[in-house]
Amino acid sequence: MTQPNIHVEPEILRAGVQQVVSVAIQNWQAQKKAYEEALALVSEPRLGPWDGGHGGTGRTREANNAFLNLVAETVQAKITELQTFIDHMQAHANNLLDLANRTEQADLHAAKLLKDVAHGIDEVKVR
């Protein structure tokens, strides 16, 4: 059975994470803000524009409020879902950045150890 050959390039990983954060997460945050603005439009207190009109539901305040409450609940659910998704993606991005940093530190530590070993071997040869 062959072992997987996993190699992490810290710089490439960091660049990819920064791309996700700068594009995807910021776009999702903008979408969340749009949902929040929509929620503010249909939430209490409701003034003139929502109570007027000539259609049957436009004149029936209870039906109008029931519809707007349903819209508000739906939009709030989307906001909550999107915020949860953003939080999890941000946590995942942070974990990947931590992996990149730890990989780089491990590489530097291994290089230092090998340098120390090589230096120790040179000292043994001189004696």
Give residue 68's region: left, alpha or beta (phi > 0; psi -120 to 50). alpha
Considering just the CA atoms, what is the radius of gyration of the chain in Å?
29
pLDDT in tens, 48-75: 555 555 555 455 777 778 888 899 999 9
Spell out the domain ranges in the chain: 12-126
pLDDT of res. 119: 77
Cα torsion angle, 99, 103, 104, 105, sign: positive
Question: pLDDT tens track of the chain, all 127 residues?
Answer: 667 666 778 888 899 889 988 899 999 999 999 999 999 988 877 655 555 555 554 557 777 788 888 999 999 999 999 999 999 999 999 998 998 899 889 888 888 888 888 877 766 565 5
> How many angstroms separate the CA atoms of 58 and 14, rounded?
54
